[in-house]
Amino acid sequence: MRTILVTGGTGVLGRPTVARLRSAGHDVRVLSRKRGPGLMTGDLSTGEGVREAVNGVDTVLHLATSLGKGDVEQTRQLLEIARPSGVEHLILISIVGVDRIPLPYYRHKLEGERLVTESPIPYSVLRATQFHHLVDLVLSAQRFSPVLLAPSVTLQPIAAEDVAERLAEVVAAQPGGPPAGHRWP
């Protein structure tokens, strides 16, 4: 049994991931800006409450995301706090094609990957395709429009529950990095 902190644990991917980890017998903490039962209140943007949430944790699943440069800064903040706390495995969720698609959001996700892979914390990065939820959101947002915009892009969405299952497997596995002898800059 591991003690696991999940950032973004109240989101589309976070909820099924937390449920799966708890059903596997892990002690799971959920970091959230909100207050409520089963939540540890903290803010990755400011660092407030994050040190307390990370204290005594073996594994961190970083599932939280935000638009813009905030994603990079939140990842940097988490790494700075997790490094001296003795975290044994940091798992980052990312997106398939993040290194080939020139959208700003993808570039920020790729920068987050770079921060994680260059840190001395043992890590794993899981890239998943977009969730069914995103396709539904894009189409639902247009329901009152007289015209439906359907971009000509190839999509292969996946169920968040399937990604949650894979994340639980990654928690049970050994970290994929960093290389031996790696030191924090």
**Domain range annotation of the chain:** 3-129+159-172
- Give the pLDDT confidence of 7-19 residue by residue, as tens digits: 999 999 999 999 9
Residue 106 Cα to chain centre, angstroms: 14
Say which range, 34-38, 83-87, 174-178, has the weakest mean pLDDT. Answer: 174-178
Classified by CATH at the fold level, domain 3-129+159-172 comes out as: Rossmann fold (3.40.50)
Peptide bond into 157 cis (omega under 30): no
The span from the CA of 174 to the CA of 184, in Å, is 20
Per-residue pLDDT at 20 exceeds 80: yes
Q: How confident is the model at residue 135 (pLDDT cuts 50, 70, 90)?
A: low
Q: What is the pTM of this model?
A: 0.87
Per-residue pLDDT at 180 exceeds 60: no
Percent of the chain at pLDDT > 90 equals 63
Per-residue pLDDT at 182 exceeds 70: no
At 117 the pLDDT is 94
What are the start-end ranges of the H helices in the chain?
14-23, 50-54, 70-82, 104-118, 132-140, 160-172
Per-residue pLDDT at 149 exceeds 80: no
Sign of CA dihedral 17, 13, 31, 183: positive
Q: Which residue has the higher pLDDT, 181 or 72?
A: 72
Per-residue pLDDT at 138 exceeds 80: no
The stretch 57-65 carries a mean pLDDT of 95
At 2 the pLDDT is 87
At 184 the pLDDT is 41
